[in-house]
Every structure is written in structure tokens, then in C-alpha cells.
Amino acid sequence: MSASPTLVPKQARLSLRWRRATLQARWFKPVVFMLCLLPLFLLVWRAFTLELGPNPEQTLIWTTGLWALRFLLVTLTITPLRKITGWAELARLRRMFGLFAFSYASLHFTCYLWLVNDFNLDAVLKDVVKHPFVLAGMTALTLMLPLAATSTNGMIKRLGAARWQALHKLVYAVAIIAVFHDWWGKLAKNNTLDPKLYALMLAVLLGWRVARAWQERRLQTRRNEVPARV
Amino acid sequence: MNKRQEQGFEHPVPSDITPRGAYRDRRRFLATVGVGAAATVAAVAAQRAHAVPAADASHPGNLPLLPAIKNVALSTKEALTPYKDVTSYNNFYEFGTSKSDPARNAGSLRTQPWTVVVEGEVGKPRTFDIDDLRKLAPMQERIYRHRCVEGWSMVIPWLGYSLSNLIKAVQPTGNAKYVEYITLLNHAEMPGQNDPILQWPYLEGLRMDEAMHPLTLLTFGLYGEVLPNQDGAPMRMVIPWKYGFKGGKSIVRIRLVEKQPITSWMRAVPQWYGFYSNVNPNVSPQNWSQANERRIGQGGFGGLFAPRIPTQMFNGYGEQVASLYKGMNLTQDF
């Protein structure tokens, strides 16, 4: 079947209609919000039905940490996905995913503080000094603090878009440290398949940004070169 | 709730009500008494005789029973970890790396027939049938603390006898300085071995004096029964003052050697796992603290609110084993 010239605009119209019905719909963000809460609901449900397994502490710590890492990667996927598909409305999800990454990371830290250390700060301090793995996790969470604190519209305005964007480049460092933290933790079981997959995903996401920045700079210089030739 | 007096009848509080099981037992017992004096005496005697082993071996896994004498002197009096947890939460990488994998996947392991080769620096190398090994020395029940390097612990009633019995039987030569024990290699029955996560077969080892120490238990069962597959059937090693991974499972070969063996974990992550791997709250070459542990199966709310307990040097067996390491720097020789 050959493509008829009238089909292309029709497809585009369809795609736009589909986007209005889903991505741009008013219900879309609340539904995604609820889905993001699902891992937490499941954990709470399992806790109350005593289904967290023989070692509930480990289940809670691992699961919250895993979701923090996943939400970090999802957050970093938004911009490439938006640029590639042209679906601008994806941008309004980015802050939410970022805050979920921070929330799950905070829960992860709280579980560590409470279940592993019984809120004994002395023990925590010793652990951090002694074990780079723990230090890495805490560094990632600490670096997320200013990002979460400046996530409101008011803060964006107050900082100015340029400075806000510069500050939020920190998320790349957070993601790299988080993957490293996960990898290091799994080394205990010598089972680094999952961390390797997450590292690969992060490499793709960061690689896309590097490639794009490089491409843009080349375009920029070419544009600058044009008047010189004339 | 308070008791209520109503129409001359005193309503009991729930705690006053005799459980159905108890009064049924009582009625059954009274019925037995009714048969006659002689019969009563016989019945009671029979009940008592039956009651002792039944209480000891509640037969939680429905596996063949393994009669054993209790070794009270070498047993802890701490509360036992429930059978369900002991047999559904453990590491046995041959069946997968998750702690629920062994219970799920170990059904494929065939433990009958089973032979164990004992060789190396010995005067009488021999291949034992597992049934002969079970009879080599009197079977004992020993309740040991079990500490995993991951930071959790259990209290388990193991069945077995000191490894020294077997070592003596094969007459070690003067060159026997170490003992290494090797797990079955069978990719079909142990699907985890298709994953090159560790070097297979799993190898662990002890220094000769550690192997000869009475606490080192050649283990055939737990909770009164033979070992379930997921816990290392039909025979495994238990060294209570070392981290759990030193206890090789489903052993097919024991070799007495002159040089210190390089164990599977030393090969995999050498900076974290040393040859000795004694439980030590002060040393954590790994990435996390070993200062305390989570006792599995303890505390309310599924164990969530049980406080962590401090880890003891040599897992609390220092009195018996500390002398083995006199003059050694345990921070370096971890």
C-alpha cells in the first residue's frame, strides 16, 4: 500500500487527539501520581498483613532504595523523550518524578536510620566514616535536598531560570552516585546484573545529552561561520 | 472485659475459657481411664512415652526423622527461629541469589543416592555412602546461633556430630594443614550454577585446628528431621563462630590439603571476604557495619519492631574458640 498524501495530516490529527485524551488530559497527572505511590502502598499493605518476609527490615530498605533509583532514571528520561517525540506536555511530569525520587530516597534513609541503627546517630556516624558505600548513599540524598527545596515555581522565579537550571544539573551527579551506591551494595552478593542494567540506562540518558550538546555547539559554530564567509 | 453476673450464671472472660483442644484431650483421656484400671495405667504410660519425642520433634517439615541425643552443653538456650523461616529464608546460590530462591528451586536436587569422597592428605581415603556417614558417630542435637554476613541471624537446632569424627576416621597425614569441602556440581539440578556469579562448585575450607574443633558440626538435619534440600541436604557444614557462608552445603567431596584453599567468595570479592570470616563486630571489610544483627523470627509485627541485637565476637563462642587465633591480627586476617 502506498502512502497517500492525505493520510499524513490525518495521522498527525489522530496523534494530537490521542495526546489530548491522555497526556494532556486533566486526569493524567493525578493518575500517574497515584501510580507512583503504588510501590509505597504495597509496602505498607505488606507490612500490615505481615507479608514483608522473614526480614522485613531488608525488604523495606531495598525496596525503597530501588524505587528511588528508578524514579531518578525516569526523571532523567523525560527530557530526551520530550525532545525525541515532541510531546511538550511530558515536561509537567518531570518535577513530580523528581520529587518521588527524593521521597523514596528519604524513606530509604529513614528505614536505615530507624531499622538498622535505632536512631543511634553515633552508630550512623561511625558507619558513614567507615563505609564509602553508606557515604555515597548519604551524599546522593544530601545533594537532592537543594533540588527538592527549589522545586517550587516560586523558587524557580526567585533563582532565575538560568541559575535554577545550573543548580539542577546536580541531578546528574546524584544519579551517578546512586547507581554506584546500588552497584556497591549488590557487590555483597556478587550479583551486579541489575546495577549494570541501571548503569547502562543512565549511560544512555547522559550520553544522549552529551551528544545533543555537542551537536548544538556544532550547529552554533556553523551559524556563526556563515556571516564570516559572506 | 469484666465478668458479668446474670441469672445466677457467671459469664467467663475469654481467658477463663478452656481451649477446645485442651478439653477434648482431657475428655479423651477420661475416656481412656474409663476402660479400666490396668488399661488406664498402660494408656497413661503409653501417652507419656509418646509425649516426649513428639514434643521434641514436632515434625515441622514432614521429612524423615533423625534421632539424636541433645547436647545441652553446646546448645544455646535462646528462642529458636521458627522452622518456616529457617527453611524459607537463606542463601544457597546454587538455587538463585535471592533468599527465597532456595526454598522455591531446591526441589530439583536429588539427594539419594549420595556419596561423599574424603581424600587428600589422609592415610585412608574413602568414598562414603551418605547412610554410612550418618552412622559414623552418634547423632547430636545442638542449638547454635547462626550469623549471616548480611547482618541477620537465627537460632537453629542442628543435628549432626563433630567433623573431627570423620577426619580421625580417615587418618590425616602430617601434611594435612587445611580441610576444604566442595558442594555438588550439577547444572541440571542446581540451576543457579548456570549463572557464573561464583566459581562452581562452591568451595569452602577451614584450618585443621578449626576443623577439629568440637563445635564444628558435620550436619545432617535440623528440627529433628533430615535437612531439607534448601538448607544443604543431605550433608553440610556448620561452624557457629563464623559467618554462614563458611558452611558449605550439599557436600560431595572433603579434601585434606597442605595449602590454604582459595574459597569461592575469596575468589569472587577478595577485598571483602577473607579465609577466616570469623564473626567480628569490630571488623567490616565489607561495605556495611557488622556491629549488630537482626534476629529473624523475633519481635512483634512480623519482626519489624524487634530491636537489632549487638553482634558478639566469634558470635558468642569466644570462650571456646578465641584461643585458636591467639597472636593473629584479626583485622587483617578477616
pLDDT digits (tens), chain B, 334 positions = 444 444 444 545 555 555 555 545 554 544 444 444 444 444 444 444 333 333 345 789 999 999 999 999 999 999 999 999 999 999 999 999 999 999 999 999 999 999 999 999 999 999 999 999 999 999 999 999 999 999 999 999 999 999 999 999 999 999 999 999 999 999 999 999 999 889 999 999 999 999 999 999 999 999 999 999 999 999 999 999 999 999 999 999 999 999 999 999 999 999 899 999 999 999 988 888 999 999 998 877 777 777 789 999 999 999 999 999 999 999 988 9
Distance from CA of B317 to the nearest CA of A (A): 24
What is the model's pLDDT at position B14?
A: 52
Nearest CB to A55; choose among B291, B296, B301: B296
Contacts of A58 in chain B (CB under 8 A): 150, 152, 294
Query: Rounded distance, CA B52 to CA B117, Å?
Result: 37
d(CA B146, CA A51) in angstroms, rounded, equals 23
Measure the CA–CA gap between B180 and B255, rounded to whole angstroms. Answer: 5
Report H helices in B129-250.
130-134, 163-169, 208-211
Residues ≥6 apart with Cβ < 8 Å to A150 = A156, A159, A164, A167, A168
| Extended strands (E) in chain B | 4-6, 9-11, 69-70, 115-120, 126-129, 140-147, 152-162, 178-183, 203-207, 217-222, 225-226, 236-238, 251-257, 292-295, 309-310
pLDDT at residue A106 is higher than 50: yes
A69 within 8 A of A198, measured Cβ to Cβ? yes
Residue to test with chain B: of A43, A55, A64, most B Cβ within 10 A: A55
CB of A192 closer than 8 Å to CB of A186 = yes
- Taking a contact as any Cβ pair under 8 Å apart, which residues of chain B between 3 and 42 contact chain A? none
Nearest-CB residue to B287 (from A57, A60, A184): A184
Question: CB-based contacts of B286: which residues, under 8 Å, 6+ apart?
Answer: A188, B149, B272, B273
C-alpha cell at B9: 450464671
* Residue position matching grid coordinates 541471624: B153
The pTM of this model reads 0.80
A136-145 pLDDT, tens digit per residue, is: 999 999 999 9
In chain B, residues with a C-beta closer than 8 Å to the C-beta of A51 are 302
* pLDDT greater than 80 at residue A159: yes
- Contacts with B282 from chain A: Cβ below 8 Å: none
The answer for residues whose C-beta is within 8 angstroms of residue B269's C-beta and 6 or more apart is A187, A188, A190
- Number of Cβ within 10 Å of residue B95's Cβ equals 25
Nine-digit cell string for B105: 528451586
Other CB atoms within a 10 A radius of the CB of residue B10 amount to 9
Q: Do A54 and B85 touch (CB under 8 A)?
A: yes
> Which one-letter DSSP state was computed for residue A88?
G
Q: Tell me the pLDDT of chain A averaged across its residues.
A: 91
What is the rounded distance in angstroms from the CA atom of residue A153 to the CA atom of residue B292? 45
Check CB contact under 8 Å for A133 and B287. yes
* Local confidence band at A225 (pLDDT 50, 70, 90 cut-offs): confident
- Across the interface, of B287, B291, B294, the residue whose CB is closest to A55 is B294
Which chain B residue lies closest to A193 (C-alpha atoms)? B197
Answer whether B303 sits within 8 Å of A54, measured CB to CB: yes
Q: How far apart are CA B69 and CA B211, in angstroms?
A: 22
What lies within 8 Å, CB to CB, of B200 at 6+ separation is B94, B185, B193, B264
Nearest neighbour of B88 by CB, restricted to A54, A126, A127:
A54
Q: Which of A13-27, A57-71, B145-159, B242-256 has the lowest mean pLDDT?
A: A13-27
Burial tier of A147 (Cβ tally within 10 Å: 0-12, 13-18, 19+): buried
Rounded-to-integer distance, Cα B263 and Cα A123, Å: 32
Q: Spell out a b/e string for A5-34, using b for 16 or more CB atoms within 10 Å of the CB, else e.
A: eeeeeeeeeeeeeebeeebeeeebeeeeee
Whether the pLDDT of residue A190 is over 90: the answer is no
Report the residue of B243, B289, B311 to disrupt the A interface, i.e. the one with the largest count of A CBs within 10 Å.
B289
Distance CA B213, CA A175 (A): 49
Q: Which of B18-25's residues contact partners 24+ apart within 8 Å by CB, and which partners?
A: none
pLDDT on residue B42: 41
Nearest beta carbon to residue A190 from set B85, B198, B294: B198
Residues of B in contact with A189 (CB under 8 A): 97
Residues from chain B contacting residue A133 (CB–CB below 8 Å):
287-288
Contact status, residue A152 vs residue A159, Cβ threshold 8 Å: no
